Structure 1
Amino acid sequence: MNIKIRQEKGTDYKVSENLVEKAFKNAEYSDQKEHLLVAKLRKSDVFVPELSLVAELDGETVGQIMLTKLIIENEENRYNTLALAPVSVLPEHQNKGVGSKLISESLKVAKEIGFKSVIVLGHDKYYPRFGFKPASIWGIKAPFEVPNEAFMALELEVRGLEGIRGTVVYSKEFLE
């Protein structure tokens, strides 16, 4: 299976949104509005075009991922990081490595363009394979009640989260 990962273009947007909707249609922990979130994030100031990627298989778009800017704040400081959300793969192509390739490539690009860390709220059995650990290790908290093991962080560079403590502040698009 030859999966090609590339930056998403404007001409991909509708296809991507349909893909995201299909990917989350039967997801257990979903409000089935992730496709609307993707559209809103693209129009926001947290959007990083280089970190909106698609996966193609034989010319068909089968997956999409987006990393957007995020803040960790405490009483004294605000720190920049990224949110990994969402990652989507068409149901008929799930469990074939498409999501893993999207995640790996997006993390590589994020590091190359200078980001130091990534936050994800996700499956605690899946994301650790990419190096994610509970964010609480660094004293980073979610702004809402979530299981500790599901709220994770990843340092893209050595000590990328050193000395950073606080609560994640998601952009308004995530909260609408």
Structure 2
Amino acid sequence: MDGVVTGEIRPETPVDVPAIGRVLEAAFETSEEAELVKALRRDPAWIQGLSFVATDSDGSVIGYALLTRCHVGEQPALCLAPCAVVPEYQRSGVGTAVIGAALESARQQGEGTVVVLGHQGYYPRFGFVPASDYGIDLSIDVPDGALMVLSLDGGQVPSGRVRYAEPFGI
């Protein structure tokens, strides 16, 4: 598919919740990510306005990106996870669009730092760089470069261990 094939990119609404679960279950091999999002909705890490959906021209939810509160050392930050696009719309720009909208909303809300644990070939397009460059690590072993960080405001990136919200289990 050429270009972004969506109706709109917007914050989720309560009516989107079941469709978001379906997107996550279609994009991943298990229901773990859908269950994670359910748990995060009930967690203090949830920040209103930082859960975004992409829809197709019929209004069906086809993509999703979530930012929740985490900490790097003692400093508040955000974590980008999960992100998903239904298989038939993958590689069409939907993921880039929905993630970009979520990051821009976080920037507008005054957030400074975002971490992501993901594919090293995908997230640099948003400005993410290896977190190890800033002395950021996790309590679990991951390949160097898989944990990345982005400064949303151009300010100083904190260093230390990432502490995710409890539902992540890390």
TM-score (norm 1): 0.90
Match of 1:12 in 2: 16
Q: State the 1:99 CA deviation.
A: 0.2
Instruction: Kindly indicate whether residue 120 of structure 2 is the aligned counterpart of residue 124 of structure 1.
Output: yes
Q: State the 1:159 CA deviation.
A: 2.4
Instruction: Kindly indicate whether residue 140 of structure 2 is the aligned counterpart of residue 172 of structure 1.
Output: no
The question of whether the paired residues in 2 share the 8 Å contact of 1:8 and 1:49 is answered with no
Looking at structure 1, the residues matched to 40 and 139 of structure 2 have their Cα atoms a distance apart, in angstroms, of: 19
CA deviation string 1:27-70 (max 9, x = no partner): xxxx6410100111111100012000110111111011110000
The question of whether the paired residues in 2 share the 8 Å contact of 1:3 and 1:98 is answered with no
Match of 2:108 in 1: 112
Identical pairs, percent: 38
Report the residue type matching 2:165 in the other structure: S
Q: State the 1:3 CA deviation.
A: 3.8
Report the residue type matching 1:49 in the other structure: Q
Looking at structure 1, the residues matched to 69 and 156 of structure 2 have their Cα atoms a distance apart, in angstroms, of: 15
The question of whether the paired residues in 2 share the 8 Å contact of 1:47 and 1:68 is answered with yes
Q: Which has the higher strand share?
A: 1
Q: For this pair of structures, how many residues does the alignment match?
A: 165
Cα 1:160/1:56, change in 2 over 3 Å: farther
Looking at structure 1, the residues matched to 135 and 8 of structure 2 have their Cα atoms a distance apart, in angstroms, of: 37
CA deviation string 1:69-125 (max 9, x = no partner): 00112xxxx100000000010011100000000111111100000100100000000
TM-score (norm 2): 0.93
Match of 1:38 in 2: 37
Looking at structure 2, the residues matched to 160 and 10 of structure 1 have their Cα atoms a distance apart, in angstroms, of: 35
Looking at structure 2, the residues matched to 100 and 2 of structure 1 have their Cα atoms a distance apart, in angstroms, of: 12
Instruction: Kindly indicate whether residue 136 of structure 2 is the aligned counterpart of residue 140 of structure 1.
Output: yes
Looking at structure 2, the residues matched to 3 and 94 of structure 1 have their Cα atoms a distance apart, in angstroms, of: 15
Q: Which runs of 4+ in 1 moved over 6 A?
A: none
Report the residue type matching 1:19 in the other structure: V
Looking at structure 1, the residues matched to 87 and 101 of structure 2 have their Cα atoms a distance apart, in angstroms, of: 21
Structure 2 unaligned spans of 5+ = none
Match of 1:157 in 2: 153
Match of 2:27 in 1: 23
Structure 1 unaligned spans of 5+ = 26-30
Identify the match of residue 100 of structure 1 among 96, 104, 112: 96
